[in-house]
Chains A and B, each alone.
Chain A
Amino acid sequence: MPPFFSTLSYVSVAKYSSELVVVNEFEGLVFNCRESDQVCRYPTGNFYLELIYPGADERHVLNWAMTAVMVAFVFIGAAIALRFKLKLLN
Chain B
Amino acid sequence: MLAYLAHMLPTSLIAATVFLLITYFQLGLQTGAAHIFSFWGVMVLLHIWGELLGVLMVRIFCLFSYSISYFMLVLFYYYVLNFMSKLFFVLAWSLFRYEFGKQHGIARDLDLGDARQRIFAERRIDAAVL
Complex contact B42–A21 (CB within 8 A) = yes
Interface size on B, residues (CB 8 A): 25
Complex contact B45–A68 (CB within 8 A) = yes
Q: How far is the CB of A28 from chain B (nearest CB, A)?
A: 8
B30 to chain A: closest residue by CB: A25
Q: Is B56 an interface residue (CB 8 A)?
A: yes
Range for the number of chain A residues in contact with chain B: 20 to 34
Complex contact B46–A17 (CB within 8 A) = yes
Please report A residues at the B interface, Cβ cutoff 8 Å. Answer: 1-2, 13, 17, 20-21, 24-25, 29, 67-68, 70-71, 74-75, 77-79, 81-83, 85-90
Please report B residues at the A interface, Cβ cutoff 8 Å. Answer: 1, 4-5, 29-30, 35, 38-39, 42, 45-46, 48-49, 52-53, 55-56, 59-63, 95, 98-99
Extra contacts, 4 of them, besides A13-B46, A13-B49, A17-B45 (Cβ < 8 A), are A17-B42, A24-B38, A67-B45, A71-B45
8 CB < 8 A contacts A-B:
A17-B45, A21-B42, A25-B35, A71-B48, A74-B49, A74-B52, A78-B53, A88-B61
